[in-house]
Amino acid sequence: MESMISSREEVEEILKGLGEQLSEPVAFLVIGGAAMLEYGLKDVTKDIDLVCRDAAGKARLLEAAKSLGFEVFGPEKRHARLGLDRVAIKGGHTLDIFAGRISYDFGLSESMWQRGKKTRLLGKADKGMRQWRTFSVSS
């Protein structure tokens, strides 16, 4: 059975650690189960899904994750279909980090970024929250 993340504090601790490892700011949105956990809409999540604005931000977050002891792997089949080329895993916690698009089909428009709720700065990580169900689809 996969390890589950069951508290907002657990997510926050991981994101704070990432922020402390960054040498320059990276804006990202927390989506999926971790965002729902933050809003009290879900009790557990299997991973933390982050969407960076671009590939450079994704690369910086992956490097920060490595600095925290996460190992970066090529994706399993279920990840590859989402457009993820790498995932970061540590102690049963998985970070799925996207660059600009979620899956091959869903792009984030500028208005989606603007609607993301900016929750706080974590070191150099500029974290926003977005629930998946509020996204509209753009191509």
Task: Count the alpha carbons within 13 Å of 7 in the hemisphere toward its beta carbon.
Answer: 5
Give pLDDT tens digits for 59-116.
Answer: 999 999 999 999 998 877 776 677 778 889 898 888 999 888 777 677 777 887 777 7
DSSP assignment letter at 45 = B
Residue 1 clears pLDDT 60, i.e. is over it? no
Neighbours of 80 (CB within 10 A): 11
Q: How confident is the model at residue 121 (pLDDT cuts 50, 70, 90)?
A: low
Taking Cα atoms as reference points, which of 56, 96, 54, 50 lies closest to residue 73? 96
Domains of the chain with CATH codes: 8-128 (3.30.460.40)
Q: Is 91 left (phi over 0), alpha (psi -120 to 50) or beta?
A: left
